[in-house]
Every structure is written in structure tokens, then in C-alpha cells.
Chain A
Amino acid sequence: MPWEELKRYFDILELNPSASLRDVQNAYWRLKKLYAEESVALVPLADEFPEKMRKKVLRQVEDAYARLQAALKSELPKSISIFPAEPSAEKAPEEKPIEPTTFSGPALREVRERLGIRLDDISKLIKLRVELLKNIEEEKFDALPEAGYLKGQLKSLAGCLLLNPDKVAEDYLKRYQERKSK
């Protein structure tokens, strides 16, 4: 992705290009929440910030996040600080890819740890208990909710880890079902 384009996405998320992966995620969740509905910061502007404009901003935020996510997977080293400070900045040495073939509990934990995100932060972001997140990572299938609920939770978790939500849910639920049916 050209630098100018990358910079534009960071601008939309109101971040410096030196922002860490966690900053990107935090900004995304925060802005999404802000523009998804009427909020204290928006209400006073009323007609001057019409619904149409709000939805446009929301789309831009979604788009910027998705693009940065894609850029992360295809082009950039999978380290905590994902983007070079300057276009000419050296790329960090290649690390082994963090995307495992199957998203098991331990694989999800590995991705999370490599991204430098604490369970606590994820818990705050997606409003799931730390205990539940731990059980997912440790594959304590008996302690996990029904597949219907779990699917949504896994998707949220995958979003935080910049992973494909459908793939994560599919992989994990497969293991979950296999174990349950034993």
C-alpha cells in the first residue's frame, strides 16, 4: 500500500503513523462506538452533523480499519509496532508468521501475546469477562457457553486480534463440537 494511502487511513482513525497495533484497535473501537449512535459528543451539533454525515464517517472508519488490517497481513512485519515511522524506514526483520493454519485456543493466545495485548484490554474492548477469554484460550470447552453464543464471542475476539472472524469461529467451533460430541 502506498505511504500516502496508509497515512490517510491513519488520519481517519486520528492516529500518528507511529501508532501501535493496540492504538489502531483502540481507536477503531472508540470511533465506531462514537459514530454508531447518538452520543453526548454528537447530540449538541444536531442538524449540523446529520445522520448522513455520521454514517459516512462510520463507513470511513470501518474502511480505514479494514485496509490497515489487510495491509498488516499482506505487507508488514507482524510485530507490535506494525508500521514504519517513515516511508523509507527499514522494515523489521521477518518474524515467523503469526497466522496459524487452525485457530485453536493456544494459537489464539499465541497471536495475542505476539501482538502484546492483555486479556484485560480485550475484556474491556469487547465486554467479555477475562475468565471467559481465558477458558477460550485454554480450551476448557465444558466451561464455555453454547455454540450460538460462543460464535459471536469468538468473532469479537478475532476482530481484536486482527484475524478473520469467520475463519476463527469456524475453526474453533469445529474443535469445540468434536470435543463435545465425544
Chain B
Amino acid sequence: MSVDLEKILRPVESPMVPYEPKYMLLASGEAAVVRQVDRDEIPDLLKYVEPLLHVERDYYDVVASRVYAELLGHYQYRFQDQYVLAVQIDGELAAIVNGRQVNPKLGLSLHTLAFRRGLRVGAHAFAAKMEYHIDALGHDEVLVVAESPIGFRRWMIEYKLEKRFDIPHELGGVPSWALTRELFDRARSSLVVGRRPVPPELLDKAMEAILPPSDPPTPALDPLAATRSMYDPTATALVSQRWEMEGRPDDA
């Protein structure tokens, strides 16, 4: 009985060509490997994404909570045709990108979540994802939205995406933008980089395990600091908040 129910509840997966790993040199001289993530590696990713739910800046909390839901749904067979790619530096997770296939000609970009900052890892990851849709999966178009202004500038404006405002994107129903094959080809030379095949030692290290990010974004010391500051420049509210959380200095 439960097996039949699972057949109904589980989405039918379309055949999707696997992502061919590639690697690139970052500004720091380190090599980053981009490769597809298997379902059984998702629990590791969930562990690393969870702390970002509490980082209330740069839309990390919104993106992380949505990525968490997407990854969990994928893991539990409740999400159709999703792929997940990971960017790793010496095995350590540097970024997660995901998306899905709407139909054999249309892709949909879900998210880009960067754990390592200052090296444009997010930009590399996003480009890798688009390359997967257009080149490997053969999509003519990919629907994209952005939660953060930085994402908007980087993708909508830099790639010159076309408006598809009649299509509400499934991420909150906001108007979609589209990366067409034509736009992607034009942007390809400047935005998509990476070399294949990945040298065996690099690939083995990446495939062995997805190691925890060593320096991920963390919540601010005082969660209300940023909002309070507009109304309380002398920070007395901050101090009393800190005393609440940590106890007054003379209580010790």
C-alpha cells in the first residue's frame, strides 16, 4: 500500500545528462572544482546550509532557507528534475547552485549560495549552471530571478537578460527574466570559464567528500544592531540587549 502511495507522491524524473565536472583557477591561485552532487550527499549540504538561515544580511537568510527547502525536497523525492552542483576548493564547499528542468526546452534557475567570499565564486558557479542548462541539457532558455540587488546587477544587467514578466517565477511569483541561448553565446567568452577534464587528484579530492566551509558567513554579533542603529545612535538599546543575552558584567 505504501509503495503504491509513494509512486503517486514521487514526481517522475526526466532523463537528464549528468554534469561534466570542470575546474578553474581563482584569484587566489587556488583551484576550484565544479561538480554535480548526488542525492546521498545532500544531508552534508543541509548541515552547511543550516547556519546561514540565521545570517540576516545580504539576503543570506532568504536564500539559505529556500535552498534548504529545495535540497530537502530533492533528497526526499518531492522535487521534480532538480540538479545540484557544488563548487569545492580543496574539498571544502565554496558554493552551491541548483536549478531544474521545466521541460526539455526550458530550464529554471533556482539559487546560488556562496560560502566563500571575495573570490567571485558565486559568479563562476552561476555561469557553470547556465552552461549546464544550455550546453548539456539543451535548453533554449532559462528562467531566472534574483533575491538580492547584487544578484540583479550581476545577472539581469550584466548578462542583459530578456524580460518574461508574464511568467511568474516559482520563487515567490515575481516576474521572470530569461537567459536565451543567443544571450548566453554572446556572454560565453567573457563569463564562462573553466577547464575540462579535471586533473585526477583534484577530482578525487572533490568527490571524496564535501568538506565544511572553513570561513562561512556568520550572523552579526548583535542581531538587532543594524536595525536599532537608525533610531538609537548612542547604542543604549544594544547594550541592554547584550546584557539580556550575556548577563551584566558584574553578574559573573
Asked if A pairs with B, the answer is: no
Chain B contacts to A: CB under 8 angstroms? none
